[in-house]
Chains A and B, each alone.
Chain A
């Protein structure tokens, strides 16, 4: 998993490595400075009898200042290279994620919820960025600190340094034991905590329902119980981690006592020949440094484990293989707008018990106007989504222009089959920018032409900014009917061979709806038009009407035939047209 993510570092390997090198410099200087300072103090202390040598003091002082500036240089530079490396890594990761998502098929999209994708792209990447920064700064620093401190301790303290042979393993064992014990507990709590936050969100969103049913107290009780439960778990996990400090101190104290007893014994017994006071005090300093670097290492360990969950979620997206692939030798030309379904079965996922479509056989000639009606969940949308190959069939085949859709280049196919989705969307930007989604190079005349055909030109002209009117995110500043007409215009700009409207005029008044259909008939007669609708009026005049029920084609025919043969059709018709005073 880490290997997979590391691939996204790319051009930021350089700053990462530079950071580590700079860290080496910083650590070396940091280890050097205490030695010089110790020497300086000794010298000053020794000069009590001989008098102070100002020259030496200044010289050492300058050396120290030089070293400090060098260290500052290393540290400061590393601060930025490391920020660059981690921010760059995060950038690449986001880029890779976004690109991967763009390659998803509808099937893949259905798997992830929008909000979960957004979290992955933002907070999860952020978590990885933070731990990456931590790692490149300290992963070199701490072990290096550890090693130099041990080496120095041996040089300075000789035999005394053996104490670390005992202390260090104890501490390592202690710290990692704590981390190992705490981590699973934390992971469990985090999951619960995420759930709690989800339930808060649910509550906020549904506040009208909560208040409408006077369920405030019920909700509060539910929340308090869940929150209390989490608090208990958190406390448990945190209490284990809180042992870190005391364990660390215990080791430090044991080290000090040992050094003091053995050190003073050795010094006095050998009359200061084997070891002296200065060395004992150095041993104490290095002991501290060794333990500190171990503490840092255990913190890194904790940090990585915590961001592991984020990494896992990112990898889930990166590992998701698109379920639709372009064929080997794709066909780049769609002959005409004829469509054929033969023995089509379709399930949204392998695991689905119920097939969304089964045994569908249809032949639609190029240029026909086809109406599709049926109840919620009868398979109308599923049927049409197979034509631009938004999903692949589970059995049988769908042919466009006489050729199986799976043999076309996907882009070619989708450019020839324009689909206005039921859950449609405009993007923030001007009307023109939105229309250009259909055809990037569309001229103003082409855009106006499409809008006239979709009955959108008229209302666009009433806007003060006309075609340059800015559409807010989600198209909130135009009405539902206007939005639908803009979406139709956008699809028309593709000049498609097949046009599919999935309940795309539901918010448009019946008269305008009729105008749109009339326009289609006159101006794009060669285009095959498939219209899914709830309103009988929208499909009544179609060349062919398909009645769907429970994933099967229940009846096919024109209006008059269906009035004769199809009970469902007749029932819907009577419901909507009612007593006959409908004057269309």
Chain B
């Protein structure tokens, strides 16, 4: 609910002080018309029509009143009826039209608002899927999330409520302004001066509110951070009996939040009474000024006077309707000021949404694709649309010819340099050769660049200098999705999806049968514990599989990679939370699966990498030792130190 579309959660979006940006506003309007080329104009016409029809009846009311005045002395209803009833019938007709238009635009507005929000969400999600990993590494997940929750929701109020009411208010204000000018220029100026004063005050008070809202947002963030830290460390707090101290500290943050929130809402609540009562005072001022003008006989300039040929004296007959007009005028101005906050907030939200939509998607100029293939007796390769167990790279050349290259899993990196930020290299001159069927391991301290290497092979990031080739093809030429399809990755941080265990395993290959999934789980050593779960493979997982242990989650993610049956596998600390006995089972399974295929292993536990064909020891982005376990032990270098336990990893 908190994140509900009522937007009750956060009063103001985070980030810098919201500014009115006409460009964003225009863009929203444009999109509305683009999405709803028919509905939108119809809605606007309905809104305008209802604004007009709500104004006209006042004239008929006045006419009826005048009729009553004329007939009241006669006291003959039968006679009066003939004059009054027709006017009332016209009134009824107008009301009927008004209700129809109001109902129509209210219903249409619901469609437009919800549809627009939905389109924004989907558009944003679709764009997000195409963004490079860099974007997700650089932005906090909470921040990305708030685009969907806070930011999109701010636009809801804007479209469904503020736009129609602003439109109506503008129509009314303009027509009332015209009528006021029709009566008297001087008095109109008085009203306008009052309105300017009102605008000034609302800006001052509103600004005060905004300042405190910002502070409130900031302290909410602080409180959230504190609570988050304490809640996640709750067990430690218990073990150390530290509850009292935590309570005291929380109360401090809590008080701060209270102070900011109290002021922010206080100022915001003030706005209504201030503007409303300024309207009342303005009324008195206008009445007094009118009286003075009449008494002092100052010539009255007005549109009506213009037609009459020059200035006339202000009369009471003009003053009475004028006073009524001024009330309507300030009432509508009040309505506009009430909407300003929503509009500014919505524009700030919209701007953030557009920032996501305008992000550059991940570049992909690859044209080499991965296909299933069949090999005949002579070793010729032909493409197949069935799953054959063999893959080939389909390589179109500039001269229009096509070649097929059998996928083998030969990965080479030559003199690769790389840095996540410019001029801060993380990898220096790294060269790795992995022959098909080899198991290549990387060991090294945290930050040595192990994971970076795998980020480069699957092109989550692109290299600065050097070359990476896959079966002799520069990986920049391979279509990213095909490149990644050919690499199975199991990451240290396991991420499971909401759904059954079976769904999660099938994520590796969507067309895998239940049997294939179970087979993969068996290979990964996961079958044993899965079958012991209450509902076995149909056990529902939620919240990133929070009902499983870290080790069990890792086993499922290995099964997920296994069902994809990839030619090359990257295991990044994939077994770090699995006990050594189970790990041995997993390893046996993986060795069987990956027989003849290439495997990259990253681990800090040496028992995980010991049986690799080549072990690379990384330090500060450089490969400092390479060789098999026996060779490295014989070398008596860093690996030897690690192995004998006189050196600490991480």
Q: Which residues of B contact A57 (CB under 8 A)?
A: 287-288, 291
* 0/1 interface trace, chain B 391-418, chain A, CB 8 Å (1 if under): 0000000000000000000000000000
Q: Does B98 contact A (CB under 8 A)?
A: yes
Known pairs A245-B106, A269-B75, A271-B75; A124 contacts B118 (CB<8 A): no
Contact check: which of B235, B246, B647 meets A421 at CB < 8 Å? B235
What range describes how many residues of A lie at the interface? 35 or more
Contact call B579/A375, Cβ cutoff below 8 A? yes
A94 proximal to B (CB < 8 A): yes
Do A376 and B578 touch (CB < 8 A)?
yes
Among the stretches B3-11, B17-25, B32-40, the one at the interface with A is: B3-11
- Chain A residues with CB under 8 A of B227: 98, 117-118, 121-122
CA–CA, A224 and B121, complex, Å: 9
Q: What are the nearest 4 A-B pairs in CB distance?
A: A75-B273, A510-B645, A123-B2, A79-B269
| One of B65, B148, B232, B262 near A83 (C-beta < 8 A) | B262
B180 proximal to A (CB < 8 A): no
On chain A, the residues within 8 Å of B75 by CB distance are 268-271
Chain B proximity of A433: nearest CB distance (Å) = 11
A166 within 8 A of B: no
Cβ of A576: which chain B residues have Cβ within 8 Å of it?
580, 607
Contact A44 B320 (CB under 8 A): yes
Q: Are B650 and A480 in contact (CB under 8 A)?
A: yes
C-alpha gap A200/B458 in the complex (Å): 24
Contact across chains for A473 and B125 when beta carbons are under 8 A apart = no
Question: With A79-B273, A205-B495 in contact, is A306–B6 under 8 Å at CB?
Answer: yes
Which of B278-286, B304-312, B420-428 interfaces with chain A?
B278-286
- Name the A residues within 8 Å of B507 (CB-CB): 209, 213, 215
Cβ contact within 8 Å between B133 and A213: no
A522-B245 Cα distance, complex, nearest whole Å: 33
- Please choose the segment from A233-241, A292-300, A557-565 that sits at the chain B interface, where 4 or more of its residues have CB less than 8 A away: A233-241
- Contacts A68-B277, A249-B99 hold; do A118 and B265 have CB atoms under 8 A apart? no
Q: Does B225 contact A (CB under 8 A)?
A: yes
Q: How far is the CB of B360 from chain A (nearest CB, A)?
A: 16
Q: Are A235 and B136 in contact (CB under 8 A)?
A: no
Q: Which residues of A contact B239 (CB under 8 A)?
A: 388, 390, 414, 418-419, 421
Is B29 located at the chain interface by the 8 A CB criterion? no
Between A and B, 16 residue pairs with Cβ closer than 8 Å are A61-B288, A64-B280, A64-B281, A75-B276, A78-B273, A80-B262, A133-B265, A201-B141, A211-B133, A231-B115, A238-B160, A260-B64, A270-B75, A313-B1, A388-B239, A509-B649
Flag if A534 contacts B580 (CB, 8 Å). yes
Contacts A61-B287, A67-B280, A104-B238 aside, 16 further interface pairs with beta carbons under 8 A come to: A44-B316, A64-B283, A68-B281, A71-B277, A76-B273, A90-B261, A99-B247, A137-B269, A207-B136, A220-B125, A245-B102, A271-B72, A375-B581, A473-B229, A575-B584, A583-B644
For window 395-427 of A, CB contacts with B under 8 Å fall at 410-411, 414-415, 418-419, 421, 423-425, 427
A219 to B477, CA, bound (A): 25
- B218 near A: Cβ within 8 Å? no
**Nearest B residue to A514 by beta-carbon distance?**
B645
Which of the residues A67, A101, A242, A375 comes within 8 Å of B110, measured between beta carbons? A242
Tell me, rounded to whole Å, the shortest Cβ–Cβ distance linking B287 to chain A. 6
Interface residue B384 (Cβ < 8 Å from any Cβ of A): no
Q: Is B549 an interface residue (CB 8 A)?
A: yes
Whether B388 is near chain A, meaning CB under 8 Å from some CB there, is no
> 8 Å CB contacts to B: which residues of A66-95?
67-69, 71-72, 74-76, 78-80, 82-84, 86-88, 90-91, 94-95
Interface 9-residue window, one of B250-258, B346-354, B435-443 = B250-258
Q: Looking at the assembled complex, report how far the CB atom of B172 sits from the nearest CB atom of chain A, in whole angstroms.
A: 16
Which residues of the partner chain B approach A581 to less than 8 Å between Cβ atoms? 633
Are B269 and A376 touching (Cβ within 8 A)? no
Neighbour of B235 across the interface among A37, A109, A119, A227, CB < 8 A? A109
Measured in the bound complex, the distance between the Cα atoms of B149 and A40 in whole Å is 51
Query: Do B118 and A228 touch across chains, with their CB atoms under 8 A apart?
Result: yes
Contact indicator per residue, chain A 264-281, by CB within 8 Å of chain B (1) or not (0): 110111111000110011
B182 within 8 A of A: no
Interface locus among A168-176, A189-197, A330-338? A189-197
Within 8 A of A (CB), among B526-558: 529, 532, 534, 543-544, 546, 549, 551-552, 557
| A536-584 contacts to B (CB < 8 Å) | 537, 568, 571-572, 575-576, 578, 581-584
| Stretch of A46-54, A142-150, A359-367, A441-449 on the interface side | A46-54
Pick from A54, A235, A571: contact of B581, CB below 8 A: A571
A361-B324 Cα distance, complex, nearest whole Å: 91
**Within 8 Å CB of B141, what residues of A?**
201, 204-205
* Chain B residues whose CB sits within 8 angstroms of the CB of A374 once the complex forms: 579
B2 touches A102 (CB 8 A): no
Of B84-92, B190-198, B336-344, B590-598, the segment with at least 4 beta carbons within 8 Å of chain A is B84-92
A115 smallest CB distance to B (angstroms): 8
Chain A residues, Cβ within 8 Å of B544: 202, 205
Residue contact B549 to A377, C-beta cutoff 8 Å: yes
Residue of B with least CB distance to A33: B280
Contact A54 B233 (CB under 8 A): no
Tell whether, in the assembled complex, residue B251 and residue A95 are in contact, meaning their CB atoms are under 8 Å apart.
yes
B57 to chain A: which residues have CB within 8 Å? Answer: 256
Q: A197-B145, A268-B76 are in contact. Are A202 and B497 (CB under 8 A)?
A: yes
Pairwise interchain contact B228-A507, C-beta atoms closer than 8 A: no
Encode A305-317 as 1/0 by CB contact (under 8 A) with B: 0110110010000
Q: A91-B254, A118-B227 are in contact. Are A206 and B495 (CB under 8 A)?
A: yes
Q: Does B559 contact A (CB under 8 A)?
A: no
Q: Report Cα–Cα, A259/B234, bound state, in Å.
A: 66
A307 surroundings in chain B (CB, below 8 A): 1, 8
In the complex, which of the residues B261, B280, B292, B446 has the most CB atoms of chain A within 10 Å of its own CB atom? B280
* Cβ distance A38 to chain B, nearest Cβ, rounded Å: 11
- In the complex the two chains form, is A48's CB within 8 Å of B287's CB? no
Q: Which of A211, A249, A537 has the most CB of B within 10 A?
A: A211
In the bound complex, residues from chain A placing their C-beta under 8 Å from that of B9 are 123, 126-127
Residues of B close to A425: CB separation below 8 A: 232-233, 236
**Cβ contact within 8 Å between B102 and A428:** no
Residues from chain A with a CB closer than 8 A to the CB of B366 are: none
A72, B280: Cα distance in complex, Å: 10
Please, how many angstroms separate the alpha-carbon atoms of A211 and B483 in the complex?
Answer: 11
User: Which B residues are in CB contact (< 8 Å) with A427?
Assistant: 229, 233
Spot the interface stretch: B372-380, B484-492, B515-523, B619-627: B484-492
Q: Of A197, A212, A309, A582, which is in contact with the most chain B CB atoms at under 10 Å from its CB? A: A212
Evaluate contact between A265 and B77: CB separation under 8 angstroms. Answer: yes
The minimal Cβ–Cβ distance linking B99 to chain A, given in whole angstroms, is 6
**Chain A proximity of B248: nearest CB distance (Å):** 11
Residues 129-154 of A, flagged 1 when their CB comes within 8 A of B and 0 if not, give 11001000100000000000000000
Closest chain-B Cβ to A377's Cβ sits at a distance in Å of 6
Instruction: State whether A72 touches B136 (Cβ < 8 A).
Output: no
B291 touches A54 (CB 8 A): yes
Q: Is B319 located at the chain interface by the 8 A CB criterion? A: yes
